[in-house]
């Protein structure tokens, strides 16, 4: 191999990734930004309308302002932030055990995140079924808490809460594993030193030693938590079986995008929604970097 | 000279660990009950599925639901084995290719020195947060203009970009000393030889992890089948299963079929993870973002 070839070798090695990355991630984002300034119904050519879509989004889309945005904020705060705190807490608790039980607990807590899509129908829809054969209804009826079966998944007042429970259940993914590994790898001598310096409680130990020592894993966990939040966002539709969800109770940005893009064919407007969603995700990630990034 | 009677990562059991069990056992019960339910439900005969009051665990297990699942496909002219084959091929190729692509990219981003390296890694880290559904429309337009609608290959192609994979491999390679690779260079090895002869054996944990993640995504994904494929012959089992349950999910026979399909979707992921979990944890130890 000549020297010159070797000098540019890395471009050959990385090119498959770069090409696919460009096609499936970079280009879609660029096109999305362009389309968001157009009217596009998927049949005719997109026509440039400036920031009209964004104006509509801010002023005329009542469903977005009244339902989708508040839903999204509530959902992502509870599932994103709550799920993150929960996965750190669980990882820390598990790390206090001996290896064999630790492995078993880790496996149990990780396994829900392996389930996808169809498990919604198998487990959760059966559990929350609206008739007496739904497990929750049967249980509540039996002990006399309610005297009439409740339509859990079709009632606007319950849908969001159920979505949050189900999302939290399945949110201990690789972020959780990374944090567990991070906690287990904290240098023992750090703890020893801290005991000498007078750390007295478990909480102090966690705050002053464990978390600072595993900042990189905390950041990775946070990023994965953000991803998880927005990728599980489809479950409202999966649970209730319809898009839009009943009275938009479980409608999140992702569902709103699908609604406009694939049912109403207002692709330009859907693209504007996508751009806003990307901005929101980017904002959250900045917050995570601020909190845990090493400068 | 530990102040606490218990410590993180203990080697031996001590009474003071009991309190953690008291907290963890109820939580794990909540986590695992729905999983047990998937198993139990799949083996229930019809009368147990619709028993009132419902019974959680199956009493007289039967394979009836699985036969029903296989029969359900017969009506549509396409045997279920076709969907399976599509899924298996998709998963197989996307795992192999994702590993190759991630190792190549991870190696370059970790050990090579060139101008735009840091930029590329930063962009990759940003893309960790990428949610495909947010740009599903432009993606469709691109796939269409590349002429990939209704091709089998799009099943695989749409899964190959995995920023997490590149990231995990890169972080893992960072731990391998440069001197080892330099020694190989001096001995006249080229990049490919270095990757396959030196790196790959050392990278086993990271490669297994990327493989598992790629498999999970490929096995569970129905994105390509939903958006890019109209030809029923090319669609995957994940699509078939979720479609079947949407259509048949509320009918009497449908629930049993859905349960069987759900179990088939879940088992491979679980088994793979159990086999590989120690390697996954090994990779995760290096997974910090810096």
Give percent of chain A with pLDDT exceeding 70: 97
Residue B185 has pLDDT above 90, yes or no: no
B145 touches chain A (CB under 8 A): no
Residue A24 lies in a domain: no
How many CA atoms are closer than 13 Å to the CA of A255, on its beta-carbon side? 27
**pLDDT tens per residue across span B109-139:** 999 888 899 999 989 988 888 878 778 888 9
Structure tokens at B74: 């017969």
- Put simply, the answer to whether B274 touches A107 (Cβ < 8 Å) is yes
Mean pLDDT of chain A: 88
Percent of chain A scoring above 90 in pLDDT:
46
Q: Alpha-carbon distance A264 to A49, whole Å?
A: 18
Could you say which residues from 115 to 154 on chain A have a Cβ atom under 8 Å away from some Cβ of chain B? 115-119, 121-127, 132-135, 138, 142
Angle between helices B252-284 and A174-184 (to 10 degrees): 30
Query: Residue B171, CB half-sphere, CA atoms under 13 Å: how many?
Result: 24
Mean pLDDT throughout A113-127?
Answer: 81
Q: Is residue A25 part of a domain?
A: no
Contact across the interface for A121 and B246, Cβ inside 8 Å: yes
Please report, for the domain that includes residue A124, its CATH number.
1.10.3720.10
The Cα–Cα gap between B284 and B261 comes to 31
Give the separation between CA B235 and CA B223, rounded to whole angstroms: 10
Chain A: closest CA distance from residue B77 (Å): 23
Measured over the CA atoms of residue A35, residue A230, residue B268 and residue A124, the dihedral's sign is negative
Interface contact A182-B120, CB threshold 8 A: no
Q: Do B38 and A142 touch (CB under 8 A)?
A: no
Q: In terms of residues, how long is chain B?
A: 290
Residue contact A196–B35, C-beta within 8 A: no
> pLDDT band for position B188 (50/70/90)?
confident
Domain range for residue A272?
A: 62-292
- Mean pLDDT, to the nearest integer, of A181-186? 92
Whether pLDDT at B257 is above 90: no
Reported confidence tier of residue B57, pLDDT bands at 50, 70, 90: confident
pLDDT range class, residue B150, cuts 50, 70, 90: very high
For residue A163, give Cα distances in angstroms to A73, A249, A251, A277, B12.
14, 10, 11, 19, 40
Beta partners for residue A47, in sequence order: A39
The mean per-residue pLDDT over the stretch B79-93 comes to 93
With contact defined as beta carbons under 8 Å apart, do A63 and A252 qualify?
Answer: no
Among B39, B130, B193, B226, most A C-beta atoms within 10 A, so best to mutate, is B130
Tokens of A56: 């509509």
Minimal CA separation from A8 to chain B, in Å: 9
List the single residue in A with minimal CA-CA distance to B192: A13
Mean pLDDT on A182-189: 90
A48 forms bridges with which residues in the sheet? A38
How many Cα atoms occupy the beta-carbon half-sphere of A224 within 13 Å?
30
Q: Is residue B235 scored above 80 in pLDDT?
A: yes
Q: What is the pairing mode between strands A47-48 and A38-39? A: antiparallel
CA–CA separation, B140 and B147 (whole Å)? 11
Using the Cβ of B198 and the Cβ atoms of chain A, whether some distance falls under 8 Å is answered with: no
Compare CB distances from A126 to B9, B255, B281 and report the shortest one's residue.
B255
CA distances from A101 to A97, A213, A221, B189 (A): 7, 25, 23, 45
Q: Express each pLDDT in A105-118 by its tens digit.
A: 999 999 999 887 67
A236-250, B92-106, B175-189, range with the lowest pLDDT: A236-250
- Condensed to tens digits (0 to 9), the pLDDT of residues A144-171 reads 888 888 888 888 889 999 999 999 999 9
Least CB-CB distance to A195: which of B3, B123, B191?
A: B3
In a domain, A219, yes or no: yes
Interface contact A199, partner B, CB < 8 A? yes
Residues in chain B within 8 Å Cβ distance of A216 = 287-290
- pLDDT at position A3: 56
Q: Report the domain count for chain A.
A: 1
Asked if residue A20 belongs to a domain, the reply is no
From CA A223, how far away is CA B163, in angstroms rounded?
Answer: 12
For residues A279 and A287, give the distance between their C-alpha atoms in angstroms, rounded to a whole number. 12
Instruction: Report the pLDDT value the prediction gives residue B74, as an integer from 0 to 100.
Output: 67
Asked whether the beta carbons of residue B134 and residue A281 sit closer than 8 angstroms, the reply is yes
Closest alpha carbon to B73 in B265, B267, B235, B269? B235
A206 touches chain B (CB under 8 A): no
Asked whether the predicted pLDDT for residue A24 surpasses 60, the reply is yes
Nearest to A278 among B107, B134, B161 (CB): B134
Query: Could you tell me which chain A residue has the CA closest to the CA of B123?
Result: A26
Task: Kindly report which listed range (A22-31, A49-58, B27-36, B76-85) carries the lowest average pLDDT score.
Answer: B76-85
Ordered domains of chain B (ranges, CATH): 67-286 (1.10.3720.10)
Q: Which residue has the tokens 């199956």?
A: B58
Confidence of residue A197 (pLDDT cuts 50, 70, 90): confident
Question: How many residues can be counted in chain A?
Answer: 295
Q: Which residue of A has its CA nearest to B258?
A: A122
Instruction: Tell me, yes or no, whether A14 lies in a domain.
Output: no
Which among A226, A147, A217, A146 is positioned nearest to A177, based on CA atoms? A217
- Average pLDDT of span B271-278: 93
Query: Does B203 contact chain A (CB < 8 Å)?
Result: no
Write out pLDDT tens, residues B194-223.
Answer: 999 999 999 999 999 999 999 999 999 888
Q: How many other C-beta atoms lie within 10 A of the C-beta of residue A263?
A: 11
Confidence of residue B2 (pLDDT cuts 50, 70, 90): very low
pLDDT band at B75 (very low <50, low <70, confident <90, very high): low
Confidence band for B166, pLDDT divided at 50, 70 and 90: very high
Residue of A nearest to B10 (CA): A98
Which pLDDT does position B248 carry in this prediction?
A: 54
Chain A residues whose beta carbon lies within 8 Å of the beta carbon of residue B266: 114-115, 119
Question: Kindly report the CA angle at B126 between B210 and B162, in degrees rounded to 5?
Answer: 25
A184 close to B (CB below 8 A): yes
- Looking at the DSSP bridge assignments, the partners of residue A77 are none
Quick one: pLDDT band at residue A13, thresholds 50, 70, 90?
Answer: very high
Whether residue B213 contacts residue A177, with contact meaning beta carbons closer than 8 Å, is answered with no
Q: Is residue A186 part of a domain?
A: yes
Q: Residue B59, Cα to own-chain centre: how many angstroms?
A: 32
- Which of chain A's residues have a Cβ under 8 Å away from the Cβ of B135? 28-29, 31-32, 274, 278
Q: Which residue has the tokens 């849908």?
A: A159
Q: Does any CB of chain A come closer than 8 Å to the CB of residue B147?
A: no
Q: What is the pLDDT of residue B3?
A: 47
Query: What average pLDDT does this structure show over A26-48?
Result: 91
Q: Quick check: B136 contacting A, CB < 8 Å? A: yes
Q: Is residue A47, in this structure, part of any structural domain at all?
A: no
Q: Which residues of B71-83 are buried (b: 16+ CB within 10 A; e: fewer)?
A: ebbeeeeeebebb
């Amino acid at each position: 191999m000549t020297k010159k070839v070797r000098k540019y070798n890395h471009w050959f090695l990385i090119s498959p990734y770069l090409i696919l990355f460009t096609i499936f991630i970079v280009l879609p984002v660029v096109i999305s930004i362009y389309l968001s300034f157009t009217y596009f119904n998927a049949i005719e050519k997109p026509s440039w309308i400036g920031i009209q879509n964004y104006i509509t989004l801010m002023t005329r889309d009542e469903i977005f302002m009244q339902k989708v945005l508040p839903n999204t904020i509530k959902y992502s705060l509870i599932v994103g932030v709550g799920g993150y705190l929960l996965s750190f807490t669980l990882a820390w608790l598990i790390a206090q055990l001996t290896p064999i039980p630790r492995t078993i607990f880790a496996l149990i807590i990780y396994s829900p995140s392996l389930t996808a899509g169809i498990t919604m129908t198998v487990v959760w829809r059966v559990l929350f079924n609206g008739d007496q054969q739904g497990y929750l209804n049967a249980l509540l009826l039996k002990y006399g808490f309610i005297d009439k079966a409740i339509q859990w998944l079709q009632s606007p007042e319950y849908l969001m809460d159920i979505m949050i429970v189900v999302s939290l259940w399945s949110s201990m993914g690789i972020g959780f594993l990374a944090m567990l590994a991070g906690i287990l790898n904290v240098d023992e001598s750090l703890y020893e030193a801290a005991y000498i310096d007078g750390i007295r409680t478990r909480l102090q130990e966690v705050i002053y030693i464990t978390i600072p020592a595993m900042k990189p894993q905390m950041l990775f966990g946070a990023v994965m938590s953000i991803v998880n939040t927005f990728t599980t966002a489809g479950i409202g539709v999966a649970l209730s079986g319809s898009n839009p969800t009943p009275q938009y109770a479980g409608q999140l940005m992702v569902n709103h995008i699908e609604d406009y893009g694939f049912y109403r064919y207002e692709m330009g407007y859907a693209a504007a929604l996508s751009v806003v969603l990307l901005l929101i995700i980017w904002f959250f990630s900045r917050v995570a970097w601020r909190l845990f990034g090493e400068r | 000279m530990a102040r606490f009677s218990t410590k993180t990562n203990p080697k031996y059991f001590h009474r003071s660990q009991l309190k953690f069990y008291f907290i963890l056992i109820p939580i794990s019960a909540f986590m695992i009950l729905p999983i047990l339910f998937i198993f139990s439900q799949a083996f229930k005969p019809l009368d147990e599925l619709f028993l009132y009051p419902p019974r959680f665990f199956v009493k007289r297990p039967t394979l009836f639901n699985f036969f029903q699942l296989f029969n359900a496909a017969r009506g549509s002219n396409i045997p279920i084995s076709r969907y399976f084959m599509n899924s298996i091929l998709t998963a197989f190729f996307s795992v192999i290719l994702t590993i190759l692509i991630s190792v190549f990219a991870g190696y370059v981003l970790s050990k090579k020195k060139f101008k735009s390296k840091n930029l590329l890694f930063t962009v990759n880290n940003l893309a960790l947060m990428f949610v495909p559904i947010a740009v599903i429309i432009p993606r469709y337009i691109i796939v269409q203009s590349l002429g990939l609608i209704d091709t089998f290959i799009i099943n695989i192609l749409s899964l190959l970009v995995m920023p997490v994979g590149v990231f995990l491999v890169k972080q893992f390679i960072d731990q391998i000393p440069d001197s080892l690779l330099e020694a190989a260079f001096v001995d006249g090895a080229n990049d490919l030889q270095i990757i396959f002869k030196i790196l790959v054996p050392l990278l086993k944990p990271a490669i297994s992890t990327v493989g598992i993640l790629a498999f999970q995504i490929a096995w569970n994904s129905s994105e390509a089948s939903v958006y890019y494929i109209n030809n029923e012959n090319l669609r995957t089992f994940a699509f078939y299963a979720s479609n079947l349950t949407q259509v048949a999910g509320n009918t009497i026979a449908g629930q049993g079929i859905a349960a069987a399909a759900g179990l088939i979707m879940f088992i491979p992921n679980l088994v793979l993870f159990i086999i590989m979990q120690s390697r996954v944890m090994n990779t995760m130890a290096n997974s910090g973002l810096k």
